[in-house]
A and B are shown apart, each in its own frame.
Chain A
Amino acid sequence: MSLVHNFPFISILLCMSAGIFTSVFKPRVARMVTFLVTGTVLVLSAMALSLTMSLDDSYPYMMGHFPAPWGNEIRIGRLEALMATGFSAVLLVSLIPGFERMPGFVSEKKSNLYCIMVDLALAAVLVLIYTNDLFTVYVFIEIMTIASCALVAVRQNGHTLVAITRYMIMHLFGSGLLLLGISMLYGITGHLLMVPLSEAVRQIVDSGQYLGPLTVVIALITAALAIKSAMFPFHVWAPDTYAFAPPLSSAILSGIISKAYIFVMVKFFYRVIGMDIIISQQISPFLFVCGVAGMIIGSVIAISQRDIRRMIAYSSVAQIGYIYMGLGMGSAAGTEAAMFQMLAHAAVKSLLFLATYELINVSGDRKRFRYLHGAGYRNIPAGIVFTVAAMSMVGIPFTGGFIVKLNLAIAGMAFGGWMRALVLVALAVSTLLNGIYFLHTVVSIYRKPAQDMVYPPSEKMSPSAAGALFVSMLYILYLGIGSEPIMRLIETGLKTFS
């Protein structure tokens, strides 16, 4: 075992210990430390990725001194390392513009606490990506919920407080379902580690005993993760939370945290239960239908929004629908497309939230579309990156969003009959709807403002923040042009899941 084998564990440990230490630093230093830690995690994850690419299979990493069926372990494969790299990269570039605009939302006294929560959220995301133990999943989902609650509630605004209360209620309900599901699964199998669990699940399916409870368990855990990741009928908490949080928090929540839940779900489906059972228990058609409904209805509601932040938040619901549609197809190709969408959407959505805040900022802190006219000229970098991100959302070629839709369509073509028709129609309609509201927004930020509109002078965006937004934009373009190796990585990585 080489040093690099330890890196995923070290990156988790680094985030958690940084969370402890940042509380005593000066605010400026705390922000610097958070930034450095995220950068280090990115480097470590990238090195772990290059290591796992040279290995055929994922490798387990024992935590503590007890081997597999008893002790806790994490498992590192190329798909896990890819996700960790992608998410930490997105967080890293979001931190620069996010921290710059923090004083408007977070008082200097509390900025240390905010940094702790960012560290904790990253730690939880990494653990959820790597862990191989279901109870660890539960504990870190709770840590992630607490961190995201604090990230949002730090803004002392009535709307934010109401939104976060709603958020917490739905998430606590989801946590309860998850805990009950895990307890029942432990009751019928006697295991919490994923590998022995999957063997026990096989036995249950073969013997036919406890098949009913197993179905209940799958339903409970799927429902819990669906609620927490804002799948369509359970999305009610999402738009307000994303819209009224500080921009960096919106970027983290909708970009990274919601994907971690879905990654856990994929792991649960492939590694613990087995996709064939998920399909035969009618779970995946349910996800498919919810995904399609979310794609269409989320976009329709987004069109009717007058607040630009709420529009972007509702488009998040639609984009999560793409992931669930891919996952719900039940085929490897569909899941691979969903995984790619997770990477692409993490980058695009966080970029959109941050760029939108810059556009709002140069429009006198007003969020309605008619006040945003001309914002693309008042802040040129933000206008450019918003336009590119919007193009990716619509699915214009050479952006990440296009590859997502292409892969989903290809995955859908493998099916026959109503499924193929539904995939293609849903993609077409949703692209059309995305086009309506995103291109409308792009047009309105480049429109001439009304004569009598007065825009108070605002704080300029620093070159480093603009640079970070541009790096993020280039990443989206890279996903659109150089997607081939990433798709191959996802494809081979998914095979190590079962």
Chain B
Amino acid sequence: MWQLLYENLEQTVSVILFVIGFSILLLQRNLIRKIIGLNIMDTSVYLFLASMGYIQGRKAPIVTDGVLEVTAYINPVPTGLVLTGIVVSVSFTAIMLALTIRLYRRYHTLDIDEIALLARGEDA
């Protein structure tokens, strides 16, 4: 069991990071911390993907010295997926930060429970 986890160290670490990330996202009350948790969660998946595409001893798939064998290069697809994923999580971080700013200007706190309490008194 431990041997298996150690052999797949990157995957193990990324799943642990994923759990840490979503626990912060769901359990922390502070909005900024939630956003940090979101980023940890997303980045862990990128680690997972990138480590899966990497093959020990091979190079990035850019032809510079005329080598055309497939066996010389790593799998480029997961790297492409990571790049797409990064774009997505950057835009989500931006949206969440924008929402946080709007809520902070209105309620002068970052605590989501407190904000919900303050909002309850308003007219719907």
Residues of A within 8 A of B (CB): 135, 138-139, 142, 145-146, 149, 153, 157-159, 161-162, 164-166, 168-169, 172-173, 175-176, 179-180, 183-184, 186-187, 192, 243-244, 307, 367
Contact = CB atoms under 8 A, between A and B. Distances in A.
B119 A142 contact: no
B48 A183 contact: yes
Interface string B34-61: 1000100110010011001000000000
19 contacts: A135-B81, A139-B84, A139-B88, A158-B107, A159-B119, A159-B122, A161-B99, A161-B102, A161-B106, A162-B119, A165-B115, A173-B41, A176-B38, A180-B45, A186-B49, A186-B52, A186-B77, A186-B81, A307-B124
Interface in B70-97: 77-78, 81, 84-85, 88, 91-92, 95-96
Instruction: Label chain A's interface by main secondary structure.
Output: helix
A172 B99 CA distance: 14
B1 interface: no
Given A142-B92, A169-B34, A183 B124 contact: no
B48 A367 contact: no
Contacts of B31: 165
Contacts of A244: 124
A367 B124 contact: yes
A176 B41 contact: yes
Given A162-B119, A165-B99, A183-B48, A146 B92 contact: yes
Interface of B: 18, 21-22, 25-26, 31, 34, 38, 41-42, 45, 48-49, 52, 77-78, 81, 84-85, 88, 91-92, 95-96, 99-100, 102-103, 106-107, 112, 115-116, 118-119, 122, 124
B70 to A, nearest CB: 13
Contacts of A183: 45, 48-49, 52, 78, 81
Contact of B99 (A138, A158, A164, A192): A164
A165 B106 CA distance: 14
A176 B84 contact: no
A175 B119 CA distance: 27
Contacts of A165: 31, 99-100, 103, 112, 115
Given A135-B84, A172-B92, A179 B22 contact: no
A149 B78 CA distance: 28
Given A158-B122, A161-B99, A162-B115, 18 more contacts: A153-B99, A153-B102, A158-B107, A162-B103, A164-B99, A168-B99, A172-B25, A172-B96, A173-B41, A176-B22, A176-B42, A179-B42, A179-B45, A183-B45, A183-B78, A184-B48, A186-B78, A307-B124
A145 B95 CA distance: 11
* A-B interface, 8 closest residue pairs, ranked by CB to CB distance from nearest: A158-B119, A158-B122, A176-B41, A142-B88, A162-B119, A187-B52, A179-B45, A183-B49
Contacts of B100: 165
Given A149-B95, A169-B34, A307-B124, A180 B52 contact: no
- Pick from A149, A158, A159, A168 the residue with the most CB of B within 10 Å: A158
B26 A157 contact: no
Given A135-B84, A165-B31, A169-B34, A176 B95 contact: no
Contacts of A139: 84, 88
Contacts of B41: 172-173, 176
A106 to B, nearest CB: 15
A399 to B, nearest CB: 30
A250 to B, nearest CB: 13
A251 to B, nearest CB: 18
B115 A168 contact: no
Contact of A158 (B78, B81, B96, B106): B106
